Amino acid sequence: MSRKPVVLITGASGEIGHGLIEALSKTPDRPVITLDLAPLDPGLAGRVRQHYVGSILDPQLLDRILAEYEINLIFHLAAVLSTRGEFAPMTAHKVNVEGTLQMLEFAQKEGESHGQPVVFVYPSSIAAYGLPNLNVKQQAGKVREEQFNTPTTMYGCNKLYGELLGSYYAGHYKQLSIHQVRGKVDFRGLRFPGLISAITAPSGGTSDYAPEMIHAAAQGKPYACFVRPDTRIPFMAMPDAVDSLLRLAECPHERLTRTVYNLGAFSPSAQEIHDEVASAFPDATISFQVDERRQGIVDTWPADVEDSSARRDWGHSPRFGFREAFREYLIPTIRERYAALKS
């Protein structure tokens, strides 16, 4: 009896899942199954072969999926983000670390069952960095993957360890076993900057001030930005994030020189984001009311990242710079979206 070959997305009901399902559904030869605690958005449900409502921490559910499907590509998106994780660190650890471990073990079993390596795409984050203070942040310039790996949030610690776990499964799994079981997980990590989608609003992250500001302005709601105007971290438009997940997944293994890659696109200050939003929505009421605790988290994240390895190895090349992201993608798409919701 043969199982059906599919791509698996965990955390599929989240922001990245939304864009990724849409993109993958354009290639019908790659059917997708999805897993999330929440049901899929009705607009997406028709685009996937099967959606499982359940937890990545449920071994029985994972066994059912293993029995039914042959999986050679996993996008493991499920996570508790950095702000939410500080209110519930144990839960963040459970989901982000134990959940990732379960999914790596699942990938290993899949690989053992069909004999091919399972490509395991893992979004990590700028939260994996922890710069000690603002002076160092200002001097650091574009931060390389191996610098400042001293995160201060539970989410950042979890993501950094998830990267290590992935490298372990890819290169050293059961290295003392006399049977060769290594090489069944082809782990590929990318450290995303803050992501901004025109279609969905984020929840639970600390880079959320940028997307929140623009979504609030488009709906005519006032917004109080929780970081200082001079705060600067890298961001990327969601279509470029989805594109990079797909590019990395498709890259021949031998071209990859690292297991985890930085990704950058543009790096505006909160004031620059404010100015761009205010010029598109002149009636917007945007103020700055700094939340020192959330500010403290963003201040440990780099102002910019060195992403030349991703550009060289697998052709990371974001379509949208700062102005294009706002003028060609975010503003027009958000306008259209809220106008459609009103009518």
Residues that bind ligand SER (CB under 6 A): 81-82, 125-127, 155, 192, 194, 205-207
Shortest CB 128 distance to ligand SER, Å: 9
When the beta carbons of 69 and 155 are compared against ligand SER, the nearer one is: 155
Shortest CB 195 distance to ligand SER, Å: 6
When the beta carbons of 111 and 151 are compared against ligand SER, the nearer one is: 151
Q: Which residue is nearest to ligand SER (CB)?
A: 205
Structure tokens at 123: 């979004």
When the beta carbons of 14 and 111 are compared against ligand SER, the nearer one is: 14
32-36/50-53 β-pairing: parallel
Greatest CA separation found in the chain? 69
Shortest CB 261 distance to ligand SER, Å: 15
With residue 191 as reference, give the H or E element that holds it: strand 185-192
C-alpha torsion angle, residues 46, 50, 54, 57 (rounded to 10): -130
When the beta carbons of 127 and 185 are compared against ligand SER, the nearer one is: 127
What are the start-end ranges of the H helices in the chain?
A: 15-24, 42-45, 59-68, 82-87, 89-93, 99-114, 134-140, 154-171, 209-218, 238-250, 270-280, 292-299, 308-314, 322-324, 331-342
Shortest CB 126 distance to ligand SER, Å: 6
Shortest CB 71 distance to ligand SER, Å: 25
Number of neighbouring beta carbons within 10 Å of residue 72: 18
When the beta carbons of 155 and 261 are compared against ligand SER, the nearer one is: 155
